[in-house]
Amino acid sequence: MKILLTLLVLIFNSLLAYPQIKMRSLDELINKADPGWVFVKQWIDSAKNKIEVLPVNAENATDALYKMQVTTRSPMGAIVYMTGGILVDNGWIRILGSGSAKLPRTLPDWNKGKAFEEFGQAAPFLLIADDAMGGFFLLNGGEFGEDIGKVYYFAPDNLEFEPLGISYSDFLEFCFSGNLEEFYEGYRWKNWEQEVSDLAGDRVYNFFPCLWITKNKDMDKISRKNVSVEEQYNLNLDFRKQLGFD
């Protein structure tokens, strides 16, 4: 009897320590009256950069939207619900949505275990996009300071989380019509367009010497190989720890 009571107390305490996450239903998340996709589509239609909207699978989209717990009234929710993701500049930048053959990662699944442990939890940051050279774009949820809702760039050339000072919507407009050549000046090699267009959406380039080590940024002379995006993300974090950044 004592053992049973002890088990009941432990279970009760565990429930108190880890309260149930209240998840909103799909009906609450899907906004048909004022969908954010209207605005995102306008930005895409007027884009100056090369944009590829990846096809959406309805089942995957509803699953990803439910896991993310964002409404389709927001640009983020609209992209998750209406696209399998978006490729920018021949796939140099990959904006995460609900996943597709070319971009086999969903926004919520990619963040699980990195930004949060369970779907529905408040996240200190969100990984919203990444690029072919192993850089990651994150939305600040409090991890990087008080500018909540602003985008940071986890830069592969210095391993710093660089504040871009823009919102998620601004980030989309930057990807669609911003000066990407200027942002990535010095980090693109000859014939990169063809090479990157053949790169899978779950792969990135790993450079040797590392971009944060070498002072010679002649990208045509730096060795590169494609690795999994998961491997590169973890590698960047490990290097930060080894260098005493964290």
Residue 3, burial from CB neighbour count under 10 angstroms (0-12, 13-18, 19+): exposed
Q: What angle do CA 145, 149, 152 make, to 5 degrees?
A: 65
Whether residue 120 lies inside any domain: the answer is yes
Give the count of domains, the chain.
1
Q: Write the CB contacts of 180 (distance below 8 Å, at least 6 apart in sequence).
A: 49, 88, 89, 92, 93
Q: At what angle do helices 75-82 and 58-68 cross, to 10 degrees?
A: 150
Tell me what pLDDT residue 168 has: 98
What CATH number corresponds to the domain at position 80?
A: 3.40.1580.10
Whether residue 153 lies inside any domain: the answer is yes
Regions of the chain with pLDDT less than 70: 1-20
What are the residues facing 152 on neighbouring strands? 138, 163
Tell me what pLDDT residue 246 has: 81
Whether residue 126 lies inside any domain: the answer is yes
Whether residue 35 lies inside any domain: the answer is yes
58-112 tens-digit pLDDT: 999 999 999 999 999 999 999 999 999 999 999 999 999 999 999 999 999 999 9
Q: Of 99, 163, 176, 93, which Cα lies nearest the Cα of 133?
A: 93
H or E segment to which residue 72 belongs = none
Whether residue 233 lies inside any domain: the answer is no
- 147 lies in which domain range? 23-179+190-198
- What is the Cα 200 distance to its own chain's centre? 15
Whether residue 109 lies inside any domain: the answer is yes
Percent of the chain at pLDDT > 90 equals: 89
Whether residue 210 lies inside any domain: the answer is no
Tokens of 139: 């939305």
Whether residue 125 lies inside any domain: the answer is yes
